[in-house]
């Protein structure tokens, strides 16, 4: 069983990977995620949503970002 310290380390490592992805944000691919993460409050929201997707749904960071873009971008919804 993972200790609390192990879990904190995993979250910390995940935040580092997320930061790397978001620093390279491409507005032509994920305009809504890039726009939202451009403020400190928006960044924290994006970061938390990506963490949730990675932990709950076992997504990779890139997959979680694309899923978030699909959620935010009305041009990508499939009705």
pLDDT, tens only, 65-78: 999 999 998 887 66
Q: Which stretches in the chain have pLDDT values below 50? A: none
Q: What is the pTM of this model?
A: 0.88
- Which strand (E) or helix (H) includes residue 36? helix 31-36
Return the domain boundaries, the chain: 4-76
- Return the residue matching tokens 């935010």: 72
Dihedral sign of CA atoms 79, 25, 62, 13 in order: negative
């Amino acid at each position: 069983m993972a200790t609390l310290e192990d879990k904190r380390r995993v979250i910390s490592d995940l935040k580092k990977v997320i930061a790397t992805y978001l620093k390279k944000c491409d507005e032509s691919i994920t305009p809504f995620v890039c726009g939202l993460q451009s403020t400190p409050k928006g960044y924290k929201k994006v970061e938390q949503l990506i963490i949730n997707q990675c932990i709950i749904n076992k997504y990779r960071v890139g997959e979680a970002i694309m899923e978030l873009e699909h959620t935010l971008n009305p041009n990508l919804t499939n009705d």
